[in-house]
């Protein structure tokens, strides 16, 4: 076998591994969305959070825990071995981050980016193999605060995910928007009352249709950045949100809009803004059976004396702040995920001088092969079209009108509670997700 053939086979193998990792990441990321939305919206009217921010935090935890805990987490989540899980998550996240960075450098029409940073408080530098993983795969900016007499290692990890973009062809729709603007339209809430909200009009060739399994209308609205899209899911009934979220657990969200028919569509959706701060994601994860990933706190027995449980995982807490807004020209969203990893340092603290904190390095985006990354993700896109025949009966979209003349236009008005998802199109990873039951 000559050298050229060896190189070619090596490239094919690496490309296959990348494809597998992106698919694994999308599945890992998206499968938690319905459950998290259901839990977060239990006592809140409107919710937005970042699934990708959460997935990144959990991947960082997988990298840090021992094989015993990682194996248990894999069993709970229905994943493969810890080794395969770690490799697929880190490579999938690396590819997605590099693709977003490449698009960001090339695209001036919006912001689509996810940035990672970490602050380390410890008696010594972070374990180098772990630190290198965070830097090389997760593109993490590191800031170390080394205190020689410290007895704890605390890693505060942050993921900042942003999608800010105009609507696709927004500049060509100025007259249409002006003529069809509805300043006050009744929106039916699940609580029996009605609120009046301004509606944002959209028109164009969109993927849209009815999903019988979810009993919902679905529309995909493209954004000007060409890297992301906004998917809206509206249940048939104003109080059907919980039922739809339960059914979404059985639906592959990676291919949710793939077989929707493309047709001339008019869409109106509320103009609104929502903010969620201090979302306690960790509390939900613990209730979902992932308590082993967390450190265990000091507890008291019946007599009132303290008893410390054995520490298991690394994760001490994970919270999010998120923002999402629609307007007549754009979609703006940002989510900040903060997780704290903790470990008690064994042995006596070192007796030496405290080192000054190291300055955080500037983000260094290496020269990226945009063409190859794009080709890889296009291959992933093409692969999704070859789904199993048994899945093809999942959709029975009402697309009779799409066979008629082009002048026949379908209309969708999102005037009752709905779910929204912001997808990274090529990978089908959901970057942000939320529910709206009372737009303000």
The sign of the torsion formed by the CA atoms of 363, 139, 58, 153 equals: negative
Residue 388 reports pLDDT greater than 50: no
> How far is the C-alpha of 64 from the C-alpha of 314, rounded, in Å?
7
Torsion of Cα atoms, 398 then 403 then 409 then 410, to 10°? 0
The secondary structure of 333-351 as a DSSP string is EEEEEEEEEEEEPPSPPP-
Six token digits for residue 370: 């945009």
Task: Convert the pLDDT of each residue in 108-120 to its tens digit.
Answer: 678 999 999 999 9
Six token digits for residue 134: 């965070």
Report the chain's mean pLDDT, rounded to a whole number: 84
Six token digits for residue 18: 């990348």
Count the neighbouring beta carbons within 10 Å of the beta carbon of residue 308.
10
- Asked if 318 and 57 count as a contact pair (C-beta separation under 8 A), the reply is yes
- Residues linked to residue 143 through DSSP beta bridges, in sequence order: 119
Closest CA to 224 of 157, 173, 282: 173
How long, in residues, is the chain?
440
Q: What are phi and psi of 84, to 5 degrees?
A: -65, -40
Residue 369 reports pLDDT greater than 70: no
The pLDDT value given to residue 344: 82
Residue 50 reports pLDDT greater than 70: yes
- Asked if 173 and 360 count as a contact pair (C-beta separation under 8 A), the reply is no
For residue 136, CA distances in Å to 4, 90, 304 come to: 28, 9, 48
> How far is the C-alpha of 414 from the C-alpha of 436, rounded, in Å?
10
Task: Identify the DSSP state of 41.
Answer: T
Residue 359 reports pLDDT greater than 80: no
The pLDDT value given to residue 352: 41
The sign of the torsion formed by the CA atoms of 40, 199, 233, 336 equals: negative
Interval 300-313 mean pLDDT: 55
Cα 151 off chain centre by = 35
> How far is the C-alpha of 117 from the C-alpha of 294, rounded, in Å?
21
Q: Which has the higher per-residue pLDDT, 386 or 283?
A: 283
- Asked if 217 and 234 count as a contact pair (C-beta separation under 8 A), the reply is yes
> How far is the C-alpha of 55 from the C-alpha of 85, rounded, in Å?
12
- Residues linked to residue 206 through DSSP beta bridges, in sequence order: 263
Residue 370 reports pLDDT greater than 70: no
The pLDDT value given to residue 356: 47
Q: What is the topology classification, in CATH, of domain 45-165+274-372?
A: Antithrombin; Chain I, domain 2 (3.30.497)
Interval 217-234 mean pLDDT: 96
Interval 201-212 mean pLDDT: 95
Task: Convert the pLDDT of each residue in 118-138 to its tens digit.
Answer: 999 999 989 999 999 999 999
- Residues linked to residue 321 through DSSP beta bridges, in sequence order: 336
Domain boundaries, the chain: 45-165+274-372
Interval 157-174 mean pLDDT: 91
The kind and range of the H/E element at 315 are: strand 315-326
């Amino acid at each position: 076998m000559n050298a050229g053939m060896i190189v070619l086979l090596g490239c094919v193998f690496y490309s296959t591994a990348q494809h597998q990792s992106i698919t694994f990441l999308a599945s890992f990321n998206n499968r938690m969305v319905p459950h998290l939305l259901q839990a977060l919206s239990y006592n809140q009217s409107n919710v937005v959070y970042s699934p990708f921010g959460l997935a990144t935090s959990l991947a960082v935890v997988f990298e840090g825990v021992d094989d015993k805990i990682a194996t248990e987490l894999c069993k709970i989540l229905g994943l493969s071995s810890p080794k395969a899980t770690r490799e697929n998550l880190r490579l999938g996240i690396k590819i997605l981050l590099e693709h977003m960075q490449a698009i960001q450098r090339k695209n001036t029409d919006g912001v689509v980016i996810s940035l990672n940073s970490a602050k380390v408080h410890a008696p010594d530098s972070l374990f180098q193999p772990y630190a290198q993983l965070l830097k090389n795969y997760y593109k993490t900016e590191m800031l170390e605060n080394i205190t020689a007499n410290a007895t704890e290692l605390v890693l505060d990890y942050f993921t900042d995910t942003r999608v800010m973009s105009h609507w696709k062809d927004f500049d060509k729709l100025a007259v249409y928007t002006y003529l069809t603007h509805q300043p006050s339209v009744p929106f039916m809430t699940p609580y029996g009352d009605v609120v009046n909200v301004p509606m944002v009009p959209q028109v164009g060739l969109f993927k849209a249709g009815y999903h019988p399994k979810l009993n919902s209308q679905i529309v995909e609205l493209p954004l000007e950045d060409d890297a992301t899209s906004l998917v809206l899911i509206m249940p048939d009934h104003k109080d059907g949100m919980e039922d739809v979220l339960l059914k979404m657990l059985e639906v592959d969200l990676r291919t949710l809009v793939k077989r929707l028919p493309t047709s001339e569509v008019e869409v109106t959706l509320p103009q609104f803004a929502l903010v969620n701060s201090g979302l306690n994601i960790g509390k939900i994860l613990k209730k979902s059976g992932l308590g082993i990933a967390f450190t265990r706190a000091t507890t008291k027995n019946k007599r009132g004396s303290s008893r410390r449980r054995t520490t298991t995982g690394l994760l001490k807490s994970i919270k999010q702040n998120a923002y999402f807004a629609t307007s007549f020209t754009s979609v703006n969203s940002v989510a900040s995920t903060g997780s704290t990893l903790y470990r008690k340092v064994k042995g006596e603290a070192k007796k030496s001088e405290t080192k000054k904190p190291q300055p955080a390095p500037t983000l260094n985006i290496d020269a990226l092969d945009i063409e190859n990354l794009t080709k890889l993700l296009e291959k992933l896109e093409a692969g999704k079209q070859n789904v199993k025949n048994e899945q093809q009966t999942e959709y029975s979209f009402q697309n009779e009108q799409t066979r008629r003349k082009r002048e026949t236009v379908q209309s969708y008005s999102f005037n009752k509670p709905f779910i929204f998802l912001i997808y990274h199109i090529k990978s089908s990873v959901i970057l942000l997700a939320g529910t709206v039951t009372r737009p303000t």
